[in-house]
Amino acid sequence: MAEFVTLEVSDGIGTIRLDRPPMNALNRQVQEEIRDAAREATVRDDVKAVIVYGGEKVFAAGADIKEMADLSYVQMSKIIDDLQSALGAVADIPKPTVAALTGYALGGGLELALGADRRIAGDNVKVGTPEVLLGIIPGGGGTQRLARLVGPSKAKDIVFTGRFVGADEAKSIGLVDEVVAPDAVYDAARTWASQFTKGAGRALAAAKAAIDQGLDTDLDTGLKIEQHVFAGLFATEDRTIGMKSFIENGPGKAEFLGK
């Protein structure tokens, strides 16, 4: 039984809930529990979309610095792969994912949120990568995912300065996608996620794979990836159901099985 991270499922939506007061510091135990929750969300058929949520007060204020302070180079070199893969575990979920951000999403907290397909923030949220102020850099995927999301110049400004970015600026540069009242963050995330609970799960997974994998390569290779996953959908039951429903009833009325 996980101590700090749970997967709560209702109405087809799985919520990966962080609960390590007061700031949801991401120590190694929390990191491994995030990985476990992400794996569970991946394999459960009753989970169609996923929310990552830290509660009403804070998303996650970063790694547990007390745990890291005395580590040597040799020690960190042995665990950095685990740290990076744990904070990136949400990115590996082949279903629509959204991070619901409240309070602070800093350092490892922001890196966790960057792995989601969408980020919804309260209007009082502060996000950032303050690692440079500790003499280090983001090590959980932040230098890579942030630059891909907002571009290298803006990413360098955020990483180099370690400054906190407010919700309005974060939205203006594409770091978050939607800003709402602080007490409406989770409901807004559920509204977005609920669009997919009756969707064609295989097609959603294929779309996510094509986009994510294509961004990591050149256009020609990305187009080949698209060809491969597109053709593969013709082996699914949902493709048959969707096309038959379209021909007989018009668009948007198919009842998919996720197979």
Active site residues per annotation? 111, 131
Structure tokens at 236: 């699914």
Q: What is the dihedral of CA 179, 87, 33, 100, to 10 degrees?
A: 0
Give Cβ neighbours of residue 178 (< 8 Å, ≥ 6 apart): 118, 119, 120, 121, 171, 188, 192
Scanning the chain, the segments in alpha helix (DSSP H) are 28-43, 65-68, 73-87, 108-114, 142-150, 152-161, 167-172, 185-194, 201-215, 219-232, 237-249
The order of strands in the sheet holding 126-128 is 104-106, 126-128, 165-166
Spatial contact of 143 and 137, defined as CB atoms under 8 Å apart: yes
